[in-house]
Structure 1
Amino acid sequence: MRMTLSDAARAVRENAYAPYSGFKVGAAVRSASGRIHTGCNVENAAYPQGTCAEAGAIAAMVAAGDTRISEVFVIADAAEPVPPCGGCRQKLSEFAGAEVPVTMATTGGRTLTVPLGDLLPYAFDSGRMAGE
């Protein structure tokens, strides 16, 4: 049986290291090759040094040799679906087009799916750099 993005994100969420906030997040991205890559949040006593789940999934994808995202799934234990933070939206946009679906889910079963472009309508990309 093929693992779904939802299953992968739910499973990796259990490995999150969140001793300070208790807010565990799991993320799974499907690359253009069809492979699933996962990440979970990893907190640090020096809060800015932590890592978001989405960033971990992207790093795992790149480490595996993939560079394009075709789908994203993020899950957290919250009353409403939690969107990726601003930094992760920008990181996702480096590897995914504006049309890529981002599903945000709660452990209670609520979901919301929107295109990445709706989450980050004015993404900074290489086309905005001077000289290009």
Structure 2
Amino acid sequence: MTDEPDFDALFAAAQPVQARAYAPYSRFKVGAALLADDGAVYSGCNVENASYPVGVCAEAGAISAMIAGGGRAIRALLVLGDGDTLVTPCGACRQRIREFAAPETPIAIAGPNGIRARFSLAELLPASFGPDNLRQ
């Protein structure tokens, strides 16, 4: 595996699942794709529910797919959303990502035409609480 993740591949994986997102209430579809430690790409989309806030974010769906598929760590993540502003992971998803990613893990934020910004997890969730805090 190279040092630089293939964000084009992650974008290509996030696009079709974004289109399939279930967002009848907000009409705001989000797709996510991640590169896992097993070398596989896992994707997810947001799934809303009439009983807010029990929906599922795209990032959470991708993480669930990774765990179900046998991956255990996130090496890179891309989040794809529409609109003029950056669609970064929500606070809960930043913490979910932290469970499986190192602070230096790259996270790309994309719009319909490609990547708009890149961050490390530490930039999105500084001084985070994670698994290492619970190890004695």
Please report the TM-score for the alignment, with normalisation by the length of structure 2: 0.90
In structure 1, the partner of 2:41 is 36
Seq. identity, %: 46
In structure 2, the partner of 1:119 is 124
- 3-state DSSP class of the match of 2:33? strand
In structure 1, the partner of 2:16 is 11
Supply the AA of the counterpart residue of 1:83: T
Cα shift at 1:110: 5.0
1:81–1:110 Cα contact (<8 Å) kept: no
1:25–1:75 Cα contact (<8 Å) kept: yes
Q: Which runs of 4+ in 1 moved over 4 A?
A: none
| Gap runs ≥5 in structure 2 | 1-5
- 3-state DSSP class of the match of 2:53? helix
Cα shift at 1:50: 0.2
2:108–2:115 Cα contact (<8 Å) kept: no
- 3-state DSSP class of the match of 2:85? coil
| Gap runs ≥5 in structure 1 | none
* Alpha-carbon separation, structure 1, partners of 2:113 and 2:132: 40
User: How much is the aligned-residue C-alpha RMSD, in angstroms?
Assistant: 1.7
Please report the TM-score for the alignment, with normalisation by the length of structure 1: 0.92
Say which of 38, 52, 55 aligns to 2:60: 55
Per the alignment, do residues 110 and 61 of structure 1 end up closer, same or farther by CA in structure 2, a change over 3 Å counting?
closer
1:23 and 2:28 correspond: yes
Counting only pairs closer than 5 Å after superposition, residues 31-110 of structure 1 correspond to structure 2 as 31-109=36-114
Count of residues in correspondence between the two structures? 130
1:80–1:110 Cα contact (<8 Å) kept: no
